[in-house]
Amino acid sequence: MFIQKLYGIYFSPTDTTKSVLKHMLAESDNPWQEIDLTPYEHRNCSYTFNEDDLVFLGAPVYGGRVPSAAENRIKLLKGGGTPIVLVATYGSMHYSHALFELQQIVTANGFITIAAAAVAAEHNVVSKIGSGKPNAQDLFEISSFVKHIHAKATSLASFKNLVLKGNMPISPRDIMPAKPHGDKNCTKCGACVKLCPMRAIDNPRKTAGKVCIRCMRCVKYCPQKARTFGGLKLIAVTILLTLINRGKEKQSDFFI
């Protein structure tokens, strides 16, 4: 099959998924285009693709789920028998049924899943879990995966949906009780308000509103490092996730 153009599409609040997708796209000689679904202003943008395109679609995993904001924006992508590669980046805990969930969304919109990857990354709340991932070995494996994708995409005349295991319905979203807020170092510069993909922050010094998806974008990119969950809540979350993880380094999984 002749691939006319590549697209790298991502919802990536802390830019981990974005960096993985860009690494994948850089492995190709084909022209490619990035589409960032993260900004709030892009929440209603729609895009249409055809059978000569190859789409790489990435989203983070929060609590084993595709974030609600990512799902809503991905549903605006329309394929016409378009081959797609699904990429879920997860914080070295578990990705549960997230790839299966992602496939259900895109299949309903005319895409054919030809490959998928769950890439282990540094946890966006407890950074010592998966610290430094994806590392050099992970990136090598990702590069090898992309080469297999291109071989598959160019050697077949037509595609069938890759079978990904999973179950529906999937567990509830947004189960983590804590939400970030500004501390005494906050200067009310408004960076968090502007960057939030959900417009969940009205006052930088107060706790994010109910639509907050705990993506940690405001925490990562606050110029004053003034966004936090608060001492006791963060300690509790850290202890819980560390106990669940038990120091086990997770690996990326690839399906093709």
| One domain for residues 88 and 186 | no
Give the pLDDT confidence score for residue 23 in this predicted structure.
95
Q: Is residue 64 part of a domain?
A: yes
- Please spell the DSSP secondary structure of 199-256, one letter per residue: ---SSTTS---TT-----HHHHH-TT--EE--HHHHHHHHHHHHHHHTTPPP--EEE-
| One domain for residues 107 and 216 | no
| One domain for residues 27 and 53 | yes
207: tokens are 């706790």
| One domain for residues 29 and 104 | yes
| One domain for residues 162 and 203 | no
Give the pLDDT confidence score for residue 89 in this predicted structure.
97
Q: Is residue 163 part of a domain?
A: yes
> Are the beta carbons of 83 and 161 closer than 8 angstroms?
no
CATH number at residue 217: 3.30.70.20
Give the pLDDT confidence score for residue 48 in this predicted structure.
98
CA atoms of 139 and 22, how far apart (whole Å): 11
Q: Is residue 239 part of a domain?
A: no
**In terms of Cα–Cα distance, which of 96, 72, 82, 19 is closest to 48?**
82
Q: Is residue 175 part of a domain?
A: no
| One domain for residues 164 and 133 | yes
| pTM of this structure | 0.93
Tens place of pLDDT per residue across the chain (256 aa): 778 899 999 999 999 999 999 999 998 888 899 999 999 999 999 999 999 999 999 999 998 899 999 999 999 999 999 999 999 999 877 899 999 999 999 999 999 999 999 999 998 888 888 888 999 999 999 999 999 998 988 887 788 999 998 887 777 887 777 789 999 999 999 999 999 999 999 999 999 999 999 999 999 999 999 998 867 777 777 777 777 777 677 889 999 9
Residue 20, Cα to own-chain centre: how many angstroms?
A: 9
| One domain for residues 34 and 154 | yes
CA atoms of 256 and 116, how far apart (whole Å): 7
| One domain for residues 91 and 48 | yes
State which residues form the domain around 113: 5-169+251-255
Give the pLDDT confidence score for residue 247 in this predicted structure.
65
| One domain for residues 27 and 111 | yes
Number of domains in the chain: 2
**In terms of Cα–Cα distance, which of 18, 48, 49 is closest to 34?**
18
CATH number at residue 75: 3.40.50.360
| One domain for residues 189 and 159 | no
Residues 6+ apart with CB under 8 A from 218: 180, 191, 192, 195, 196, 201, 208, 227
By three-state DSSP, how is residue 171 classified?
A: coil
Q: Is residue 71 part of a domain?
A: yes
Give the pLDDT confidence score for residue 94 in this predicted structure.
85
| One domain for residues 19 and 134 | yes
By three-state DSSP, how is residue 42 classified?
A: helix
Give the pLDDT confidence score for residue 242 in this predicted structure.
74
| One domain for residues 216 and 122 | no
Q: Is residue 236 part of a domain?
A: no
Q: Is residue 174 part of a domain?
A: no
Please give the order of strands across the beta sheet that includes 32-36: 32-36, 5-10, 53-60, 82-90, 111-120, 253-255
CA atoms of 169 and 148, how far apart (whole Å): 32
CA atoms of 80 and 83, how far apart (whole Å): 9
30: tokens are 């084909």
In single-letter form, the type of residue at position 30 comes to N
Q: Is residue 246 part of a domain?
A: no
Work out the angle at residue 166's Cα, subtended by the Cα atoms of residues 165 and 172, and round it to the nearest 5 degrees.
160
